[in-house]
Amino acid sequence: MLKTTFNIGRWAVPFVVVAAVMALLVFAFQGGSTPVSSPPPDSDPQHLVSILQYLESDYPAAVASGDSGELAEQRSLSAEALSMVRGLPHLASFEPRIAGIDARVQRAADAPAVGKDCASLVDDLVAATGMPRTPSAPPDLDEGARLFAQTCATCHGPAGHGDGLAAAALNPKPADFHGDAVMNVLTPFKAFNVIRFGVKGTSMAPFDALDEKQRWALAFYLFSLRQPACDHAPPRVPLDRLANASDPELVLSSGAGELACLRRKLPVLDAPALLAAARTRVEEATHLATQGDAAGAEKAVLDAYLTDIEPIEPWLKTRDAEVVTQLEASFTTTRAALQQRDPQAQDDARELMALLDRAAGTRRTSTKLSVFWFSLLVIVREGFEATVIIAALLAVLKKRKEASRARFVHAGWVSALAVGAVVFTVGRKVLAGAMNERLEGCLALVAVAMLLHAALWVNARSTTRKTMGALRDRTQGALDRGALALFGIAFLAMFRESFETAVFLEALSIDAPMAVVWGAGVGVVLLLCLVYGVGRAGVRLPMQTLFKVSTVVLLATAVVLLGQGIHSFEEVGILPSRPMPFLRIEFLGVYPDRLGVIAQLVLAAVPLVWKAMSRRREKREALKGATQAGE
């Protein structure tokens, strides 16, 4: 049987290096302040909102029915909300209001007022915490249908009537998504929270395995179940309104004849409307800053970017990549100024509004040359290393006069290339509709760790020799085990390079997918010429120099991606932003921010430290060998 080994140590160090650099820098730029302990898992503000929404909808009905079981459930939820707010010190001002609600629920009194108070509390909690109550992009209802069939139909029934196979054994019964009793008080945002947290005391369990995008898709799909087919285009209603309005509220504002289309045909991203919405939020931020509410102003600016600008970045980039760059920088600068209560914050906000006005009328003027060259070099470098390994396998077969088995080697590396292409293609398809700054940052940092691994371990001269020797030994054994083993060795040897290349190109293609396609295409042609020159024309290459140069290319790419990844995290507030006077060289991932620049400098120094450590280790081993020889 073919055995493969995954060396955890070789992969762990690059990831540890990246993580350690990021942790130290974040701690340094936070000013070394004492970390604030996070609240316990059951003290999530959104969970608290979910409970209050449930009380708002179900408590009046429970009081009206007088059902002891229903009332016991409401009392339990009310007590849980009170306990939860006590675990959230930053929301202590809300405790008296929740305590007042709990006191009335425990007495089963004042049902209409409790419902109104819960609704008011939800609005205030959302505003105080900056909790998103709208999906960042229109949910996919087809995805919602698939998820409903997989996760909900067993209890709620295939059509959502609450008549699933397991429904008979449940008490209380599953919700009927066709009935007015449920749907007239439900909104997609409420459904989103119930899907996330479940309902204590019922069979509705939390669906932690679903991500945010899937929960929104499922929540919106529930509202399409009882609607007839839509035969016309719906009126233009903002996604925020659709997410937070019940069916009766939509009927009141748009008419009963529009409800089916509003629930079945969700709006597409309207770039001009979102740009206008972003400008309104930034304008609101200037008013809040004037009133001394710096935190509220910063939140408004962050919402403008995450909710309005990020979903349409691909559209903006096709029209004017430069204005996107300037917008990102301006959002970061404005937020940082608001954080630090800088008197210049309002000027920064006005500059940001001017950029948003410009973005509304921009034209396509983008350049992707840097991405093209990086893609070309990655293809040539990774492809040539894989070619050297496959050539070593074929050389062993030729030496053993087993050339007839070369077809299994060729089948292995061709299959690995095909799998690598599928990984890249599927990755682009999966991420294209959901790519945001968080995913971009994570993908960039993963690519950085893989590039460090390839540059510092695989390209080391001694490691290359050991790899080739081990490959020859495995080939000798594979000849005795048969064709499948030989195929497996060739596949694994090529697949590692293919997979790494797919990840690198995936990270590079975030901002310029077509530049990656052209760069990779030209790189493949150049690689084929190089392989032909070495294999057929007898051209001799300085292998040691070639691998050293390729190592520099990999490290340079890692530095670029590290800068881009940090910049992505800063834009969404995951990392603190510390702007400074510095050059902005976007194609090198260099942004005028201390965190990113210092992280890139540290990463650029890693090879020098690694080389010094390697030399010291080699000297120690040589000295030890000489000492043993003398003895």
Is residue 303 a part of any domain in this protein?
Answer: yes
Burial group, residue 466, by CB count within 10 angstroms (0-12, 13-18, 19+) = exposed
Is residue 64 a part of any domain in this protein?
Answer: yes
Question: Beta partners for 579?
Answer: 593
- Count other C-beta atoms under 10 Å from residue 619's C-beta: 10
Whether residue 312 sits in one domain with residue 409: no
pLDDT, averaged across the chain: 75
Rounded Cα distance between 126 and 189, Å, is 12
Rounded Cα distance between 511 and 559, Å, is 17
Running DSSP on this structure, what letter comes out for residue 175? Answer: P
Return the SS3 of 579.
strand
Tally of domains in the chain = 4
Contacts of residue 303, defined as CB under 8 A and 6 or more positions apart, other chains included, come to 130, 281
Burial group, residue 257, by CB count within 10 angstroms (0-12, 13-18, 19+) = exposed
Is residue 307 a part of any domain in this protein?
Answer: yes
Instruction: Output the pLDDT for position 97.
Output: 93
Is residue 35 a part of any domain in this protein?
Answer: no
Whether residue 204 sits in one domain with residue 61: no
Rounded Cα distance between 460 and 611, Å, is 10
pLDDT over 60 at 310, yes or no: yes
Whether residue 299 sits in one domain with residue 406: no
Out of 78, 107, 129, a domain closes at 129
Contacts of residue 244, defined as CB under 8 A and 6 or more positions apart, other chains included, come to 133, 134, 187, 188, 189
Contact 592, 329 (CB under 8 A): yes
Greatest mean pLDDT among 105-109, 122-126, 387-391, 489-493: 105-109
pTM of the predicted model, to two decimals? 0.46
Running DSSP on this structure, what letter comes out for residue 5? Answer: -
Tokens of 353: 């509004």
Whether residue 599 sits in one domain with residue 510: yes
Residue type, 150: Q
Greatest mean pLDDT among 290-304, 417-431, 508-522: 290-304
Instruction: Output the pLDDT for position 583.
Output: 65
Structure-model confidence comparison of residues 462 and 604, the more confident one: 604
Burial group, residue 438, by CB count within 10 angstroms (0-12, 13-18, 19+) = middle
Rounded Cα distance between 237 and 498, Å, is 46
Tens digit of each residue's pLDDT (9 = 90 or more) over 524-583: 787 777 766 655 554 555 656 666 666 777 677 778 778 777 776 776 566 766 767 666
Rounded Cα distance between 563 and 573, Å, is 15
Out of 260, 285, 304, a domain closes at 260
CATH classification of the domain holding 225: 1.10.760.10
Is residue 337 a part of any domain in this protein?
Answer: yes
pLDDT over 70 at 43, yes or no: no
- Going from the C-alpha of 235 to that of each of 70, 223, 250, 323, 562, the distances in angstroms are 39, 17, 11, 31, 44
Is residue 410 a part of any domain in this protein?
Answer: yes
What backbone torsions phi and psi does residue 579 show, to the nearest 5 degrees? -60, 150
Instruction: Output the pLDDT for position 181.
Output: 87
Range of the domain at 441: 367-622
Contact 76, 67 (CB under 8 A): no
Whether residue 326 sits in one domain with residue 187: no
- Going from the C-alpha of 172 to that of each of 65, 166, 185, 226, the distances in angstroms are 14, 12, 18, 22
Rounded Cα distance between 621 and 628, Å, is 10
Model confidence at 388, pLDDT cuts 50, 70, 90, reads low
What backbone torsions phi and psi does residue 31 show, to the nearest 5 degrees? 80, 15
First-to-last alpha carbon distance for the chain, in angstroms, is: 43
Whether residue 338 sits in one domain with residue 388: no
Is residue 628 a part of any domain in this protein?
Answer: no
Whether residue 549 sits in one domain with residue 566: yes
Whether residue 440 sits in one domain with residue 588: yes
Share of the chain above pLDDT 70, in %: 68
Whether residue 375 sits in one domain with residue 340: no
Contact 573, 299 (CB under 8 A): no
- Going from the C-alpha of 113 to that of each of 97, 101, 189, the distances in angstroms are 12, 9, 22
Q: Which of 371, 395, 608, 629 is nearest to 508 (CA)?
A: 371
Q: Is the dihedral of CA 282, 285, 287, 289 positive or negative?
A: negative
Whether residue 374 sits in one domain with residue 345: no
Structure-model confidence comparison of residues 493 and 437, the more confident one: 493
Contact 448, 11 (CB under 8 A): no
Whether residue 330 sits in one domain with residue 181: no
- 143-147 — which CB contacts under 8 Å span 24+ positions? 143/214, 143/217, 144/217, 144/218, 144/219, 144/220, 144/221, 144/222, 144/224, 145/221, 147/210, 147/214, 147/217, 147/218, 147/221
Whether residue 374 sits in one domain with residue 354: no
Tens digit of each residue's pLDDT (9 = 90 or more) over 134-178: 887 788 899 999 999 999 999 999 999 999 898 888 888 898 999
Out of 212, 238, 260, a domain closes at 260
Rounded Cα distance between 223 and 262, Å, is 10
pLDDT over 80 at 85, yes or no: yes
Rounded Cα distance between 335 and 181, Å, is 44
Peptide bond before residue 138 is cis, with ω within 30 degrees of 0: no
Is residue 447 a part of any domain in this protein?
Answer: yes
Rounded Cα distance between 554 and 581, Å, is 28
